[in-house]
Amino acid sequence: MVRRVAVIGAGSSGLASIKCCLDEGLEPICFESSDDIGGLWRYKEKPEPGRANIYRSLICNSSKEIMSYSDFPPPAHFPNNMHHSQLLQYLHLYVEHFVLLQHIRFQTTVSSVKQGPDFSHSGQWVVETEKKGGGKESDIFDAVMVCTGHYTQPHLPLNEFPGIDTFAGRYFHSWEYDFAQDLLGKRIVVVGIGNSGGDIAVDSSRVAEQVYLSSRRGAWVVSRIGDNGLPSDFLKGARLSMLVQKYLPSLADRLMAQKINQHHDHRLYGLLPSHGSLL
């Protein structure tokens, strides 16, 4: 008897889960609440509550050599660091190549996952779903794979910003950011120097009057491009580099910090963090 697997979400993880289930002779059924694949990598002009959101200019920090599926490389003419539209195209090519679409039920939300009545014996799960426009179903599965991601709820701790209630300007989370033109001529403070913070600071600086990037403890700012034009994350993952990191971590950290500082001295720019460069 073929074991049935419920896959929740048709983003990059969900698609790989469907394919791996098929490879193992299992019967996957993927439930996707939207009307298309892609998850995080589906750009929307207006953010939808409960879903991840990306901005118009977003380019992947990871190179295609590192982030692609091991059994399906992206097209050779795609850039090392893909724009979100190219990554979504890549996911569509993956689905088409491995014939995954027939295993996905779109506009179907999983409302409940609970153990079956004889779970201690069978290990089966009861999955309840609701189709958009009405229609509820309940089905039994031998396993459930949750591939919904975790970038769906913006974290905006306004209680940590005294005086925000009297601030006359606009404030919002990066989840709401779309493109720089909305900030034409503005004076902007971007709070946080993570990937999104750095991206938005650079993007908005093209049209803003002034942009400040606020960092609590600094950060290592690393170029996507490494030696000889190769992707920096590709070089970091090379065998020799990995061996040095494993057996001589302190030395590897010092060498990496020296290399990063050759581009710009983090101490000079007030960016030197307290943590190591390989964390």
Residue 199: DSSP 8-state: H
**So what's the pLDDT on residue 134?**
82
Q: How many residues does the chain have?
A: 279
**What sign has the CA pseudo-torsion 68, 70, 74, 78?**
positive
pLDDT at 279: 65
Match 């153990």 to its residue by tokens: 115
Decide: 209 and 186 in contact? Cβ < 8 Å.
yes
What pLDDT score does 234 carry?
84
Question: For domain 158-214, is the CATH number 3.40.50.620?
Answer: no
Q: For position 204, what pLDDT does the model report?
A: 96
d(CA 109, CA 129): 5
Bridge-partner residues for 188, per DSSP? 211
Strands (E), 85-232: 104-105, 108-115, 125-131, 136-141, 143-146, 187-191, 210-214
> Does the reported pTM lie above 0.85?
yes
Residues facing residue 138 across a β-bridge = 128
* 184 contacts 208 by C-beta, under 8 angstroms: yes
Q: What does 25-50 look like in DSSP terms, one character per residue? A: T-EEEEE-SSSSS-GGG---SS--TT
Q: What SS3 class is residue 90? A: helix
Position 23, amino acid: D
Q: Which residue has the tokens 């991206």?
A: 199
**Does residue 56 contact residue 47 with C-beta atoms inside 8 Å?**
no
* Residue 266: predicted pLDDT: 94
Distances (CA, A) of 246 to 232, 250, 255, 278: 18, 10, 14, 11
Name 166's Cβ contacts closer than 8 Å, sequence gap at least 6: none
Which of 92, 59, 62 minimizes the C-alpha distance to 75? 92
Enumerate the CATH 3.50.50.60 domain ranges in the chain, comma separated. 4-146, 158-214
Q: What is the pLDDT along the chain (279 residues), one digit of tens a residue?
A: 899 999 999 999 999 999 999 999 999 999 999 999 999 999 998 889 889 999 999 999 999 999 999 999 999 999 999 999 999 999 999 999 999 999 999 999 999 999 999 999 999 999 999 999 888 999 999 999 999 988 888 999 999 999 999 999 999 999 999 999 989 999 999 999 999 999 999 999 999 999 999 998 899 999 898 888 889 888 887 788 888 888 988 998 998 899 899 988 999 999 999 889 886
In angstroms, the Cα distances linking 164 to 34, 161, 167 are: 35, 6, 5
Q: Which fold has domain 4-146?
A: FAD/NAD(P)-binding domain (3.50.50)
* Whole-number pLDDT of residue 150: 85
**Phi then psi dihedrals of residue 145, to 5 deg:** -115, 115
